[in-house]
Amino acid sequence: EVELVESGGVVVQPGGSLRLSCAASGFTFDNYAMHWVRQAPGKGLEWVSLINWDGSDTYYSDSVKGRFTISRDNSQNSLYLQMNSLRAEDTALYYCVKDKSIGDDPSYYMDAWGKGTTVTVSS
């Protein structure tokens, strides 16, 4: 069974930095692209970032580009999100999400989600 467990969410001041982690199990991690998706309190879903199977390609939403960095360690079955220059509008539940993937290419839709980790940006 696929399991994705996020960690690292805390309360941080505006302008601060944070690194989220996601531990993956139950599937061959290095066969799949991975995403981060966030959900602000009481709001809808917002895609944040995508990384391909070997980390050679990364993509970001305009709202986080230049501030966030997605990475992965396939030897540790782990996904990361380095978040810098945090703003109040980054406050959200952050989900680690598995791409359904077809061969070496992402499918760009998401077939397994973690329970999320909460990031609060507040002074």
**Residue among 10 and 102 whose Cβ is closer to other proteins:** 102
By beta-carbon proximity to other proteins, the closer residue of 16 and 61 is 61
Using DSSP's 3-state secondary structure scheme, residue 74 falls into helix
Using alpha carbons, list the distances in angstroms from residue 78 to 4, 42, 108: 9, 28, 19
Q: Cα(first)–Cα(last) distance of the chain, in Å?
A: 40
How far is 50 from 80, CA to CA, in rounded Å?
11
Q: Is 116 in the site for other proteins (CB under 8 A)?
A: yes
Contact characters 37-66, other proteins, x per CB under 8 A: -------xxxx--x--------x-xx----
Quick one: residue 71, left, alpha or beta (phi over 0 = left, psi -120 to 50 = alpha)? beta
Choices 18-26, 74-82, 83-91, 113-121 (CB under 8 A): range interacting with other proteins? 113-121
Please give the residue ranges that form the binding site for other proteins (CB under 8 A). 35, 44-47, 50, 59, 61-62, 95, 100, 106-111, 113-116
